[in-house]
A = this chain, B = another copy of it.
């Protein structure tokens, strides 16, 4: 009776996610762009400022500010690359982002417990495929500009 698309659940989920991100950003003093940059950094392990600029679509000058804010919030570190001292090695501070989300992580873990392993597999599959759909649709929107 509670289908996935009932009552715009997807839109409500989306709105709730965005509101949560805004609250995290306000708490930590980082922008939405900063958080996306952090996601890129965590995804890649480490990146240089130039790579980050290309990835999030900003100029190198703006990336300085992004990394400043992430570093000030204790979320990322900026170190010179020992191999090429012009470059930076930007890394995420392990656990720091998780700390900001710890309340959420606990609550979500409690939620997961409610489901059988088979059900968890279904949910996990849906999440994975939804991520793929969102990325594709985001790509399409960004191309139309």
Which A residues contact B (CB, under 8 angstroms)?
A: 1-6, 9-24, 26-27, 32, 35-36, 39, 101, 103-104, 107-109, 111-112, 114-115, 117, 119-131, 133-138, 140-142, 144-145
Report the copy number of this chain in the oligomer.
2
Per CB-CB distance, the 6 closest pairs between chain A and chain B, nearest first, are A16-B134, A23-B141, A2-B124, A17-B17, A15-B39, A107-B133
Complex contacts, A138 vs chain B, CB 8 Å: 16, 19-20, 23
Interface centre among A24, A35, A103, A108 (most CB of B within 10 A): A108
Q: Would you list 21 pairs from A and B whose C-beta atoms are within 8 A, ordered by A residue?
A: A2-B121, A3-B112, A4-B115, A4-B127, A10-B108, A12-B131, A13-B17, A13-B130, A14-B17, A16-B134, A16-B135, A17-B134, A19-B134, A20-B141, A22-B36, A32-B32, A107-B133, A107-B137, A111-B133, A122-B122, A123-B126
Known: A133-B104, A138-B23, A141-B27. A127 touches B18 (CB 8 A): no
